[in-house]
Each structure stands twice: as structure tokens, then as C-alpha cells.
Amino acid sequence: MLDVELIDPTEVERAAAIFHRDGFVPIRDALNPEQLAYAQSGAARVIAQQMRDIPLEEANRGYARYSFGSQIHHPEWVQLIDLPTVLPIIDAIWGSSDYICSGGGGDYSTPGAREQQLHADIRDVFNDPLNLVTIHDVPTPYIVVNFLMVEFKKINGAIRFVPGTHRTRQPVPAIDEEPDRMKESIICAPAGTALIRDVRCWHGGTANNSAEIRPMTSVGYLAPWFRLSGLGPSLPRALYDTLSARGKELTRFIVQPD
């Protein structure tokens, strides 16, 4: 397992420094018990719906491994957008509050899921013909915050993260070529933890050898200077109207028109 310390939400500057160093930082108790229970209920409902429609062998991330897809149209995901335990840390990471929310989703593995290939969640969008600048040479353009819906343990398919790979130009190794340190870089943490991560950091699911489903939900944020193509209206106006003033500002590019 990866030896990581869970950081308290009040340790804002320390959390930001760890994020810049490692490409991720785990935040303890990011969700209070009521928020966690609400998020768990939403995740369970969507999982049940998806698994009724999609057999294990047709799961979109490999056998028994599913991406939630966009779920920001559900209130259980909307509650995650403007959490006071998370946003101050992201403010510190970017030195600005002028970033935007890109939506929400996450993933889950069910019993029998196999180890997943290490990967990053963004390609090199710069395509510099001189190869002087790649997506790995700039500050983080895109942050995803994953919320652990159950305790992540080695047996139930916890995620492995390779520290420091958010700024490397090295290629991701094939799954059968991973050194032991990468195979063992598994983050174990309790439910309600938020994992704030640079999407460039190499990560991958591990085998789910338990009898339980291992879900994590997420919301994403784009740096003040960065935009993704295809960002469109996915947040219903009725849910947008329930957000705080900060939440409305964050979601101004994804709210559906009246």
C-alpha cells in the first residue's frame, strides 16, 4: 500500500503543497455523515440502474468495471460542487477562485473486476510541433475530486496512484511491465475521504476480490486558463437554482438554458 497521510480540510496550504508535489492529496472527512449517506444513496441507485442494463462483460471500463458517466443532473452529485472542505484547497492550488466546474461522474468496480491499466485522464492537447511544451510542462489544467463511497481497501479494488507522474513525459508502462512500487501504490482510506487529483497523474483500479461494489463519485474543475472542447449544458436549471452564489458561478458554463 502507498503510505499516505490523510490531510485535514483546514490544512489548506499543506494540502496544496502535497498536491503540487505528488499530483494528488487525500482529504479526510470531506463529507459529513449526512452528505456521505446522501451521496451513497445516489450512487447505489445509479449503479443498480446501470447494472440492470449493462452486463458485467459489457462494462465500459473492462469486465465488471464501470464509469458512471455524467451524473451532474442528480442532486446527490450537485451537493459535491461547492463543498467548504474542498474549494479552499483548490483555490490555493490555482491561486485563484476563477475556475469552473466541468461536471460530475466517477466510477465503480464490482466483484470480479481485474486490475486496470495505469493511465492519465487527459491527452496532450497542446500538440506543439517543436515539442517544447506538452501538457505535462504546465501547472495542472484539470482537477478531479473523487469521493470514496466505501472504505477503500486492497481487497475491494482501491485505486493505485503513482506520485509525481503528473509532470512526467515518460510513457505509461504496460500493465505487465509495471514495477512493483507502482503495483503497490494503492491508496486505502475511509468512506467520506476526498481525493483531489491532477488528472495527468497515473492511476488505475486494482482487482476487486471482495464481495462488495467499490464506488467513488466525482466532480471536476477546469483551471482559469483551460477549457475542454465539448463542455455543454448538463446541469438542470432547477438544481442550479439550489446552489450557493459560489456554486452558481462555478457552474455557469454547464447550466441548461431556461
Beta pairing partners, 216: 107, 148
Per the structure, how many domains does the chain have? 1
Range of the domain at 141: 12-250
Kindly report, residue by residue over 168-197, the tens digit of the pLDDT: 999 999 999 999 999 999 999 999 999 999
The verdict on pTM exceeding 0.75 is: yes
Distance of CA 25 to the CA centre of its chain: 11
Q: Is residue 236 part of a domain?
A: yes
Q: Is residue 258 part of a domain?
A: no
Kindly report, residue by residue over 48-100, the tens digit of the pLDDT: 999 999 999 999 999 999 999 999 999 999 999 999 999 999 999 999 999 99
Q: Is residue 5 part of a domain?
A: no
Q: Is residue 184 part of a domain?
A: yes
Neighbours of 228 (CB within 10 A): 14
Q: Is the pLDDT of residue 258 over 90?
A: no
Q: What is the mean pLDDT of the chain?
A: 97
Q: Is residue 93 part of a domain?
A: yes
Domain CATH code at residue 78: 2.60.120.620
Q: What does the pLDDT average to over 159-176?
A: 96
Rounded distance between C-alpha atoms, residue 172 and residue 131, angstroms: 18
Kindly report, residue by residue over 2-61, the tens digit of the pLDDT: 888 999 999 999 999 999 999 999 999 999 999 999 999 999 999 999 999 999 999 999
